[in-house]
Amino acid sequence: MKINILKQELVEALNAIGRVMGSNVAIPLLKGFVISAKGDQITMFATNTDISTKAIIKAEIFEEGEIVIADGKLFNDIIRKLPKDEVKLEVKEGNIEIKSGRSKSKLQIIGTEDFPKAPTFKEDKSFKIKGSTLKELISKSVFAIATDEVRPVLTGVYFEVKSGLLNLIALDGIRLSHTYTTVSDEAEGLSAIVPGKGAIEISKAIEEDEEITLAFSSNHCLFKTDSKEIVVRLLDGEYIKYSSIMPTEFSKTITTGKKEIVDAIERAAIVAKEGSNPIILLIENGKLNITAKSQLGCTSEDITVEESGADSLEIAFNNKILLEGLKAASSEKVKLQFNSSTSPCLIVPSDDSDEAFEYLALPVRIRS
Amino acid sequence: MKINILKQELVEALNAIGRVMGSNVAIPLLKGFVISAKGDQITMFATNTDISTKAIIKAEIFEEGEIVIADGKLFNDIIRKLPKDEVKLEVKEGNIEIKSGRSKSKLQIIGTEDFPKAPTFKEDKSFKIKGSTLKELISKSVFAIATDEVRPVLTGVYFEVKSGLLNLIALDGIRLSHTYTTVSDEAEGLSAIVPGKGAIEISKAIEEDEEITLAFSSNHCLFKTDSKEIVVRLLDGEYIKYSSIMPTEFSKTITTGKKEIVDAIERAAIVAKEGSNPIILLIENGKLNITAKSQLGCTSEDITVEESGADSLEIAFNNKILLEGLKAASSEKVKLQFNSSTSPCLIVPSDDSDEAFEYLALPVRIRS
């Protein structure tokens, strides 16, 4: 293998495969990555067995070949520090030689036989989606996945195509986040659980203005552009029937500025976090009063809201659950819908927003 | 106590005392800080017993008083998040009430009796110095202090005034950093060991364009401006006679661009750090060749240097020791002076710089 390539191109390709490389500490071999040179392009492949990433770049190839660079991070560090834009890579006596200007390094390589292959992928359903849209869908759902492994399916984001809509759902037992967009008919009927880490990896690899092909087989999901591919192993199991959890009627509704309520809850959260005390919302006479208490002190603040529905309501939440849901909304105003102090609250963008997002938060019991 | 004050003023005062507050975890009381209101100003005082900090700000005072706010960090977090610029502080029923806009918080306070007092300070020697100068002196020395406690005096920076020069020295047994400036006669004869942490704290509190009074007693050092004071407890003991360590004659000298040599050593360091291998300098025929090896690979690079002195020289260093010294120099060119592969190298700015800095680095033995 003998290649001339631009440093910047190599750096971008290493960025694309770098987060996966070496993240499976149980298999030291996976600290490395495959680099193969063929025709006029280089393909770089790294995997942690759950997520596989591939980057494809143009290069001047004098001699084709395929090797594994044993320590991907070391290679990455060296490439970034090279003195010149031109980089020469050449396999010599069981090493790869990296030359740039008057700097010369040799790194250990190994054969490709033992390195895991890219998963074989038999496409089942696929659709195209704009990078910015997919990024937004993932960011508005993935934060709500479960972080413990009690129910493994809940550590993933549920992708579902139903009636022409791609729904993304995440829930962890005390909240549920749901966001959606329209997609093409071919994907109708799709349902898949993408692990949270895989969803985040895809989201990080996306450029806002790219058009992306997202394809699903029974075991894997493939994210693809001209210059990169990510294959994520799906989670096995059946996802929770989320639509049956969603309340459809409410006895009390308030509408308020998103920034206003987020800021006030964040202030209350400073005191509440000592001992993870709840924050308490009291809705009364067109006013939302937000309070929190801990052994170190207490805090209280009123904000003005539009209120509908009879009677006053007092309801308590873990501040993190409420804040993350409110922050995920991108509308200027948000609507909070309640039934009682023990039933979940549904947060949606206010009526004059066309944002496709809803968030359900379970309250906590108020200690008296 | 009843005060009106601007949020920004409070934030700045909390910045000044915040790094010390709560850093002595052995004494929970020191999570708090003293706030006293008298005349038209507020004084805030925090201490970790080694370092004491005081901030003085103007405020509208309706009722004088002095209390300890039990949890300084909580107070700090709340102040930063207040919705309005105007802040009202008032002691009410054993709490301090913080009001701003429609937000109201109450935090626990305690009496001042048990809180440590500011150290009494009987000035011995003092001088004035420009903030930017003191900042530079500290940054060019403090990185070279010892980080272990084998010889406690070496964890401090040595301040010494001799023949009208303020010298700052730090050394850890394998390198020595020395930097200096002129100061007024009154400080002649001063010698004091300022703990590394204290020196860093002073450096952080300094504004570039402030004129600072630095005063020393037998046990403490005081750093003072109109709005803040830091008192640092000095280290006990006798400092090493550094001037006797400094070689004065050299058999070989090279001069080279600082960026050029730093970049090349950093590239070698990427490979060398695996297993903390040394980097090897070979000086020969007007060329400096820099190499490093580890089990994962090797790297080599030539740079052109001005060379004087006979014969070639091969010498090895821990890359960190060499890099930190070279980086501390601010001149464009640096001079490296040697005697043999086993004697220390003296790094100084090149002749056409008026930078007051010298750095001594011990080599390591070359493994054959």
CATH number, domain containing residue A33: 3.10.150.10
B306 near A CB under 8 A: no
Residue B87 lies in a domain: yes
Q: Which residues of B touch A301 (CB under 8 A)?
A: 102-104
pLDDT at B275 over 70: no
The reported pLDDT for the residue numbered A367 is 65
The reported pLDDT for the residue numbered B56 is 96
Do residue B165 and residue B209 come from a single domain? yes
Among residues 234-273 of chain B, which lie with CB inside 8 Å of chain A?
263-264, 266-267, 270-271
Nearest chain B CA: its distance from A361 CA (Å): 25
A204 near B CB under 8 A: no
Of B108, B264, B301, the CB nearest to A296: B108
Question: Which structure tokens are listed for B243?
Answer: 């001037």
Q: Which of the listed residues B192, B211, B244 is the one where a domain comes to its end?
A: B244
Q: Do residues B58 and B32 lie in contact, with contact meaning Cβ atoms separated by under 8 Å?
A: no
B105 near A CB under 8 A: yes
Burial of A352 from C-beta contacts in 10 A (0-12 / 13-18 / 19+): exposed
Q: How far apart are CA B106 and CA A219, in angstroms?
A: 55
Do residue A348 and residue A272 come from a single domain? yes
Q: For testing the chain B interface, which of A68, A77, A89, A288 should be mutated: the one with the most B CBs within 10 Å? A: A77
pLDDT at B311 over 90: no
Q: Mean pLDDT for chain B? A: 95
Residue B158 lies in a domain: yes
Orientation of helix A131-139 relative to helix A196-205, angle to 10°: 150
Give the count of beta carbons closer than 10 Å to the beta carbon of residue B95: 18
Residue A176 lies in a domain: yes
Q: Over pLDDT 70: what percentage of chain B?
A: 99
Do residue B218 and residue B262 come from a single domain? no
pLDDT at B367 over 80: no
Do residue B152 and residue B180 come from a single domain? yes
Residue A119 lies in a domain: no
Do residue A235 and residue A135 come from a single domain? yes
A-B contacts (CB, under 8 Å): 94
The reported pLDDT for the residue numbered A368 is 57
Q: Which of the listed residues A206, A223, A244 is the one where a domain comes to its end?
A: A244
Residue among B33, B32, B37 nearest B5 (CA): B37
Q: Do residues B200 and B138 lie in contact, with contact meaning Cβ atoms separated by under 8 Å?
A: yes
B316-355 burial, b if ≥16 CB within 10 A, otherwise e?
bbbbebbbbbbebbebebbbbbbbebeebbbbbbbeebeb
Do residue A270 and residue A341 come from a single domain? yes
Nearest chain B CA: its distance from A208 CA (Å): 32
Question: Which structure tokens are listed for B359?
Answer: 């750095």
CB–CB contact B74 A270 (8 Å) = yes
Q: How far is CA A160 from its chain centroid?
A: 16
Do residue B256 and residue B224 come from a single domain? no
Amino acid, res. B368: S
- Give the per-residue SS3 of chain A: CEEEEEHHHHHHHHHHHHCCCCCCCCCHHHHCEEEEEECCEEEEEEECCCEEEEEEEECEEEECEEEEECCHHHHHHHHHHCCCCEEEEEEECCEEEEEECCEEEEEEEECCCCCCCCCCCCCCEEEEEEHHHHHHHHHCCHHHCCCCCCCHHHHEEEEEEECCEEEEEEECCCEEEEEEEECCHHHCCCEEEEEHHHHHHHHHHCCCCCEEEEEECCCEEEEECCCEEEEEECCCCCCCCHHHCCCCCCCEEEEEEHHHHHHHHHHHHHHHCCCCCCEEEEEECCEEEEEEEECCEEEEEEEECEEECCCCEEEEECHHHHHHHHHHCCCCEEEEEECCCCCCEEEEECCCCCCCEEEEECCECCCC
Do residue B144 and residue B106 come from a single domain? no
Q: How far apart are CA A54 and CA A73, in angstroms?
A: 16
Q: For testing the chain A interface, which of B31, B104, B105 should be mutated: the one with the most A CBs within 10 Å? A: B105
Of A108, A264, A297, the CB nearest to B108: A297
For residue B100, give the chain A residue with the closest CA.
A301
Q: Which residues of B touch A303 (CB under 8 A)?
A: 102
Residue B287 lies in a domain: yes
CA geometry: angle at B172 spanning B166 and B177, to 5°?
35
Residue among B23, B76, B14 nearest B50 (CA): B23
Residue B137 lies in a domain: yes
| Residue A222 dihedral angles phi and psi, to the nearest 5° | -120, 130
Q: Which residues of B touch A269 (CB under 8 A)?
A: none
Do residue A232 and residue A290 come from a single domain? no
What separation in angstroms does the CA of A259 have from each of A249, A264, B64, B175?
A: 26, 8, 37, 54
Q: For testing the chain B interface, which of A87, A92, A98, A106 should be mutated: the one with the most B CBs within 10 Å? A: A106
- Give the per-residue SS3 of B3-61: EEEEHHHHHHHHHHHHCCCCCCCCCHHHHCEEEEEECCEEEEEEECCCEEEEEEEECEE
pLDDT band, residue B353 (cuts 50/70/90):
confident
Do residue A144 and residue A48 come from a single domain? no
Cβ neighbors of B191 (< 8 A, separation 6 or more) are: B158, B159, B160, B161, B239
DSSP annotation of B143 reads G
For residue B273, give the chain A residue with the closest CA.
A74
Q: Which of the listed residues B54, B85, B110 is the one where a domain comes to its end?
A: B110
The reported pLDDT for the residue numbered A79 is 97
Nearest chain B CA: its distance from A82 CA (Å): 7
Q: Over pLDDT 90: what percentage of chain B?
A: 90
CB–CB contact A263 B81 (8 Å) = yes
CB–CB contact B106 A299 (8 Å) = yes
A106 near B CB under 8 A: yes
| Residue B261 dihedral angles phi and psi, to the nearest 5° | -75, -35
CB–CB contact A106 B297 (8 Å) = yes
CB–CB contact B81 A299 (8 Å) = no
CB–CB contact A105 B298 (8 Å) = yes
For residue B294, give the chain A residue with the closest CA.
A107
State which residues of chain A have pLDDT below 70.
274-275, 367-368
Residue among B46, B55, B42, B58 nearest B16 (CA): B55
pLDDT band, residue B368 (cuts 50/70/90):
low
| Residue A170 dihedral angles phi and psi, to the nearest 5° | -140, 140
Q: How far apart are CA A95 and CA B272, in angstroms?
A: 17
Tokens 């020069």 sit at which residue?
B165
Q: How far apart are CA B93 and CA B108, in angstroms?
A: 10
Q: Total structural domains in chain A?
A: 3
A93 near B CB under 8 A: no
Question: Which structure tokens are listed for A43?
Answer: 């393909």
Nearest chain B CA: its distance from A5 CA (Å): 19
pLDDT band, residue B13 (cuts 50/70/90):
very high
Residue A154 lies in a domain: yes
Do residue A231 and residue A261 come from a single domain? no
Reported residue count of chain B is 368
The reported pLDDT for the residue numbered B34 is 98
CB–CB contact B103 A301 (8 Å) = yes
Residue A118 lies in a domain: no
Q: Which residues of B touch A298 (CB under 8 A)?
A: 105-106
Provide the domain limits for residue A167.
Answer: 125-244
Do residue B93 and residue B35 come from a single domain? yes
Q: For testing the chain B interface, which of A298, A305, A319 should be mutated: the one with the most B CBs within 10 Å? A: A298
Question: Which structure tokens are listed for B326?
Answer: 């070279």
